[in-house]
Amino acid sequence: MIRVDGTAQTVVPATDRGLAYGDGVFRTLTAIGGRPRHWRHQYERLAADCRSLALPAPDRAFLEREIALVAGDAARCVVKITVTGGSGARGYRRPDAPQTTVIVASSAYPDYPATCRAEGVAVHACTIRLALQPALAGVKHLNRLQNVLARSEWNDPDVREGLMRDAADRLVCGTMSNVFLVEDDRLVTPALDRCGVAGATRAVLLEAAAQRARTVAIEDVAWDRVLRANEVLLTNSVIGVWSVRRIGDHALPRGRMADELNRWLDEADETA
Amino acid sequence: MIRVDGTAQTVVPATDRGLAYGDGVFRTLTAIGGRPRHWRHQYERLAADCRSLALPAPDRAFLEREIALVAGDAARCVVKITVTGGSGARGYRRPDAPQTTVIVASSAYPDYPATCRAEGVAVHACTIRLALQPALAGVKHLNRLQNVLARSEWNDPDVREGLMRDAADRLVCGTMSNVFLVEDDRLVTPALDRCGVAGATRAVLLEAAAQRARTVAIEDVAWDRVLRANEVLLTNSVIGVWSVRRIGDHALPRGRMADELNRWLDEADETA
């Protein structure tokens, strides 16, 4: 089900700046019984991303109502919130007072095999390198062609994700996930100040770690560290935490950390 | 007037991949009496950009009919053609056989003062730097947030364009134009193999120069060369060629080359 600007509809003007320029931001989340999981973090990230693009953020209570409406009576579903610069005249310049378009859409929760979480997944090491753009780094904006190209690099349905590097061969993120490494007793996640998306689930995990007095280093991660890591973990709001068992032909062990981080996510879930 | 996939309509599905990811390409052109100016180059660039994103290109004759329909009886108007990856399920992966969305929209020809062409224009030196992404360089795709951010850097209506540099401080293009420099007797335009958009008008001018046995060097252009150039010229399909008279506080001479290149465009115009 899709709602646009508070009404049930499935279309947007063909002149929307989201389509013309990718001028907008989005979040994807899981709704449980119509309530968005990890909502405080999701809304904070959405609002921060709107600020980054100088767009007014939608009202939080409005979004909660919209999410409940598109979720309907689904026990669990995926909800995507998109905020665009709205419709305007031709040209890159925004109207002085942009009227955003707010799209809230639900879709079925994907039927990932239980083995993804229980045993881990195989991933592809993407060839395309993320461009360095500090002005947009971390923002979940609608300019996602690099992710589309990365996702087109493999067809094997058993390969669940692709790891993306930047132009300097540093690990940044997955095409649809953030990444954490376990290096001995250390938890590490790549810095996202040059490229990449700062996911809400990453933010939940960083806060959960702090609450447990666990340090997570946020730093540049050269690619060769990935292949030497004790564990490589993928995180997003739909999959939770998956362990990476194979990167291309390179096998990785599955440790205990994926289960522990999934517990952190459960305990952080205000809707639980 | 707007037509989508061959019918008069003003909306697209909210699930269109053009909106979700900027997964698509576009061209902007001038239609004279319903016929697209420099159409061979415009169509070639559109088709090449579709190939770059692995999207099927729209049929050329179909587009000609659509352009005539949206232009109506306008003596002169702007037409924008957008081709997107169409609607698909959630996720970066394209459907195996993508059904593109083709939007053809007309708008009034902008009422630029005659002085823009006759005397030249003032431009802003943009602060944001274009990220280097060879996989998408040259393509007029829908990921244009960098242009939006660049265009938001100035409000002065007398400043008509912004010049954009890449992360290594090389001149690349304007926010909505390509750039040519005159250095003594030499014509130069920046290489677009790392970032930037290869405009159809740039292609028309490169071909026109070759037909006249004039050399245009396509090469990296360090920013300090811009300030020392004899002339700096902006080109696109709506403005034609404008001379830059001022970059910020830096004054530039207006030579004869803008007029000459505008003649080349007129002579190359199959609709003339």
pLDDT band per the 50, 70, 90 thresholds, residue A97: confident
Mean pLDDT value across residues B68-84? 98
In the prediction, which pLDDT does B261 show? 97
Query: Domain spanning B2-108 has what CATH number?
Result: 3.30.470.10
CA separation for the pair B190, B170 (Å, rounded): 8
In the prediction, which pLDDT does A148 show? 98
pLDDT band per the 50, 70, 90 thresholds, residue A24: very high
> Mean pLDDT in chain A?
96
Q: For residue A37, what are the contacts with CB-CB under 8 A and spacing of at least 6? A: A29, A30, A31, A237, A269, A271
Question: CB distance from A255 to chain B under 8 Å?
Answer: no
Q: Give the pLDDT confidence of A201-223 residue by residue, as tens digits.
A: 999 999 999 999 999 999 999 99
CATH 3.20.10.10 fits B114-268, yes or no: yes
Question: CB distance from A239 to chain B under 8 Å?
Answer: no
Portion 149-208 of B in contact with A at CB < 8 A:
149-152, 167, 175-176, 195
pLDDT at B222 over 90: yes
pLDDT at A3 over 70: yes
In the prediction, which pLDDT does A269 show? 80
pLDDT band per the 50, 70, 90 thresholds, residue B96: confident
Mutate to test the interface with B, among A5, A11, A104 (most CBs of B within 10 A): A11
3-state helix, strand, coil in chain A (%, to 5): 25, 35, 40
Mean pLDDT value across residues A34-51? 98
Residue B86 corresponds to which tokens in the numbers above? 């169409």
CA separation for the pair B223, B221 (Å, rounded): 6
Q: Give the pLDDT confidence of B118-173 residue by residue, as tens digits.
A: 999 999 999 999 999 999 999 999 999 999 999 999 999 999 999 999 999 999 99
Cα–Cα distances in angstroms (integers) from residue A90 to residues A17, B73, B105, in the given order: 9, 20, 10
> Mean pLDDT in chain B?
96
In the prediction, which pLDDT does B270 show? 60
pLDDT at A50 over 80: yes
pLDDT band per the 50, 70, 90 thresholds, residue A89: confident
Question: CB distance from B238 to chain A under 8 Å?
Answer: no
In the prediction, which pLDDT does A129 show? 98
Q: Give the pLDDT confidence of B9-68 residue by residue, as tens digits.
A: 999 999 999 999 999 999 999 999 999 999 999 999 999 999 999 999 999 999 999 999
Mark yes or no for CB contact B105/A147 under 8 Å: no
In the prediction, which pLDDT does B272 show? 47
Q: For residue B105, what are the contacts with CB-CB under 8 A and spacing of at least 6? A: A14, A15, B1, B2, B3, B70, B79, B80, B82
How far from chain centre, in Å, is Cα B240? 11
Hey, where are the domains in chain B? 2-108, 114-268
